[in-house]
Each structure stands twice: as structure tokens, then as C-alpha cells.
Structure 1
Amino acid sequence: MGKITDLLDAINVANENTEELYEIFRMVTDFDYPVIRFNIYSGSGMIRQRVNKKGEDFEKVSELSYPPFDCVTGYERANVPYQPMFYACSFPTDYNDENTPPPRVVSLQETSSFFRDKVASGIERSTVSRWEVVKDLELVALPFLADYTMACKDIKTIKDDWNEAVKTNTLNQNGLELVEYMAREIGKTFASNVEYFKIANFVNYLLNVNEKTKAVDGIIYPSVPAAGSGFNMAIKPSVVDEKIMFVGASLSHLLKKGEQSYLHVVNKSISVEDGHITYQDNVMSDEEKKMYNSYAEGLEMRN
């Protein structure tokens, strides 16, 4: 490992010394950052998932979009505090493959600690919203270097392309070391949000400071909880307002007994007027009722 790695490893994230971190970023000139461009084209779909608060439903489109700017947020994988981003799951090219979980499951893995808990039981309500890209998105990506055990086809392709580019091009070595360090960092799972200090600030640097990349719309990266079987995007709020359109939403019940689970769609949106959503209940078939009741027996509603 080189000097950049040593300096980044020495950063004490608990101190949250942003200036110390950005001094390391500035050791590489802006146009020497070797990053990947990734386009999501008009007509593409994406989904967001939010766990409902107890006894509450999402009745407005704004409640399903990015958080308000005064929202108290901590560090996340791709945002710093008080800088909300629009997180969404995109559809990999092989998402119809029987071995690839659907985006709805990927989004559950991202947003629901209850779903990830292998011993928890109960019923959790969550709302999935569907969005459509109406103007092409230009995103930045770090090389996919972490160990994604269920990597989808896109990840494998980009990994191969990156390795070939590194072999065949003359790259700034500090820039390469910095980007590859952060590529591994974005693929980690941390116990506390402050441990995302380095990667969250690096994403902020790419999207808002670096002259080579700050005009992009956001960043795309493999889903860590889903082991790379799908993608996440973090998109700038201003871009959402211009390039992404709300399509619809649905409320689901996740019925879970340990590692066994069943996802039932309770209702779907049928109209939107002045930003307010109207839902209509789904009518269950006899078979669906039987399945629901068999899973629901003995379970309590969590929210």
C-alpha cells in the first residue's frame, strides 16, 4: 500500500475532521481521478422502499421522495449529514434471471433491519414507490472491488472493464490508489453511521467539489446487503425534480418467521392529485388468503 492508504487509515472517523480528509483528496488533481461513468437512460425504472411508522401511511408523493433539507440525518454510505440524497434501487440487466432477486427484495434488504434479522418474527408494513427516469441520468461509479458474492452480470462486466483499463492505461498512481481505497470502503458494512465518514465525504467531494465529476447526477454502487445482486443509486435532489417522475406506490406486509418470509401487497395507488396519493385495496384470492393466514398465524404487527 502507498502513502494515500496510510494517510486514510490514520484518519480517526470519531473526530470528524473534514479538513484533514479533504486535504488527502486534494493531493490528487481533479482530472486525475480515474472514475467510471454510468448512464441510466430515459424510460428506465427504479424503486424506493420506506418502512412505515407505526399507525401511519404515506399519503403524499413528497413523503416518498428525498428527505427535506432540514432533516436530521447522520452519515450514510453516500451522503453527509444535512445533505439528503434520493436513494433508489435500479434494475440490473439480468434482473429477470431466476437466480437474481427482484429489485423489491433488494430494496427490502437495504431498508429493513427486520428483514435482515434471521431470527426476528412479526409483520412489518412498508411502502414501495416506483419512479421513472424522464431524462437520461449521468452517474459516476467507483470500481466494484469489494467481494460481492452474488454479483449480477453488470458488476462482473464493469469489474473486468476496470481491470483491463488499469492494465492498458497510464493512470495517476495516487488517484488510482485513492479511488480503489474508496471502492473497497463503499462495499463495507459498518456498525455505526460515523464509520461512513470517509466514504460519505468522498462521495460528496466527487458530486459537489471535484471539477471532473461535480456535474454528474449522482453515484451508483452495488447493494451491499444484497451482496451485489442489485444496484443502489444516490441522486442529487435537484436532479430528481428535473429528471425523475413518480409512477406509483403500494403498501406491503412482510410476514416473517425467522428466515421464512412472505411479502403481500395490501394496496396500490390509483391516482395522484396535487401530490396526494389515493390507494385502492387489493382483493385477495382464496389462495392468497390461505397463504397470508398461514404465515400470519401467531405473528404480531410491528408498525
Structure 2
Amino acid sequence: MDTSEAETQLGFESEEDSEMSDGALQEAFAKGLLKPGLNVPVEEAKKLANNVEGMKQCLADFCKTLPWVERLNLTNLPVADIVAKAEGRLVAPDGEINAEDDFQREMYFYRQAQATVLEALPKLRKLNIPTKRPTDYFAEMSKTDQHMQKIRKKLLVKATAMEKSEKAKKLRELRKYGKKVQVEVIQKRQKDKKAMMTSVKKYQKGMTDKLDFLEGDQDKVKKSTGPSKAQLNKKGANSKRKFKDQKFGFGGKKKGTKWNTKESHNDMRGFRAKVAHGKGGKAGKASGKGGKGNKRPGKEARRKTKSKK
């Protein structure tokens, strides 16, 4: 049997006979030359070997040939649970923990790691191997500096946007509060005005004789104008004001200072009748009343004298 016949029997086709008609395929199937599953590869099941003895032998070889620094293998039991003893809680013996209790299981691993560290650190120091990271240690970053700069810029932009948003939010709240206060003030003014108008109408109609509604306005005027001059004078003038008062006087009202008042009109202690009416004394002699002084000619006599000249 040549190669072509063998391939035909096995269901393989050559390049020349790659296109077989349906009739040829049916005849081959009828003769038993075509069988299902010939072209499907069959994979054998993998054999899993658990060679415990071989693994132990390899571990023993490693321990004999490699130093401890290269292996760093330690087998330790967990340290004593000092916290539980201090709190007076019962501590389960090593190896008798509940595997379903997550906290108890993790604490067991944690105490076992503590025991390993306590045993490994003295060995490393004895071999002069540093166990602390130097101060000038720089780790190789997984991202480039350009990439980190981009991320930093994005974070700054995001932080700035959030800050602006917070400021805008605060401004909106302040505006709302300001509008609310303004509305309250306007309502209070309208209420006070309405109450005052009601009181005025009652007073005009004679329903009341009290003017208490005017006292409120006076109080408002006092509050708005601030302290009066009398209150300021009580505090005392400053040194500049005192110097000007000493140099130029105290100022004040000039016009009408010599006018009589009720008290000065009724005060007769300095009144002298002879002086007041020109009787006696220098005033009487000077005026010619009762004295020997020259009398001034009258107006008509003075006119005639001027005409004669």
C-alpha cells in the first residue's frame, strides 16, 4: 500500500485530491474507510506526582550546600500572648486554635512572625547585615517623572476647582442670608411704621393722650447720631484743644452777650440814680446838666452861623 492509499484510508487528503465530491465521500464512508475521530488529537491525562521524599531530599541538599543567609529559613512557634495574659483571658495552647475564627487565626500568624523577627534580627546583626533602610535610600519608581508631573497637575487642577466651588457655595449662602436679614429688617420697619401710624391716629382722635410713640424715634435718633457734645465734653478735651483754648480763648457765642436777662434786669445792686440821670459827678459836668460846661448850640443856630460865613 502506497502513501496516498494509506492517507485516503486514514481520512487524510492530499493537495491534489483536496476537493472530493459528495459522492466520493459517501462511497468511502460506505466502504468503512472514513471513521469518526481520526483527526482529533487525544491528550493523555497528566500524572501528578507527590514525591514527598524527593522534596525532603532537595530541602536537605539546600540546607547542606547553601549558607543560612541565602536561605533565611526559620521555623518558630508563636510568642506568648502577653496582652491576653495581662487581661486575664484564657489562652489556647499552640496548635489548638479554631481555624474558622479569623481573628484568632490572624493573631496566631502575627505572633509567629514576631517570634521569627526576634530570632532573625540577632543573626543578621552578627553577620554584619544591615536591617534598616538608609536615610539616603531612593527606591526605583514604577512610573516616570513626567507621568507623575501630569498626575500632580491634574490633582492641582482638581483641588483648585473644588476650592472655587466651595467659595462660590459660601458666597451663595452669604447672599441668601443677607437677603433674609434685609427682608426681616424691612418687615420690622414696616411693622414699626404701622404701629406708629396707629398710635398717631388714636392720639388725633383723642382716644389716648400718651406720646410714647415719639420716644422710640428719639431713641433711634440718639443711636444713629452717636454721642452728644455734652457726653464728649464729659470725657475732657485733648491737649491740642486745651492749647488752642489757652491761646485764643474758649470761643462760643459773641452776639447778644450784653443783652439784659431777667436776672440782670432785677439786680439793682450797682444802680446809682445820680450817675444814671446825670446829676453831679463828672458825668453831669461834662453833659452840662447842672454844671458850668459850654452848651452846644442847636441845629438851627449852627445852620445860620454857616450861612453868615
Please identify which structure carries the higher strand content.
1
Higher relative contact order (CA 8 A, sep 6+): 1
TM-score range, shorter chain: under 0.3
Given the two structures, how large is their TM-score scaled by the length of structure 2?
0.16
TM-score for the superposition, normalised by structure 1: 0.17
Largest Rg, 1 or 2:
2
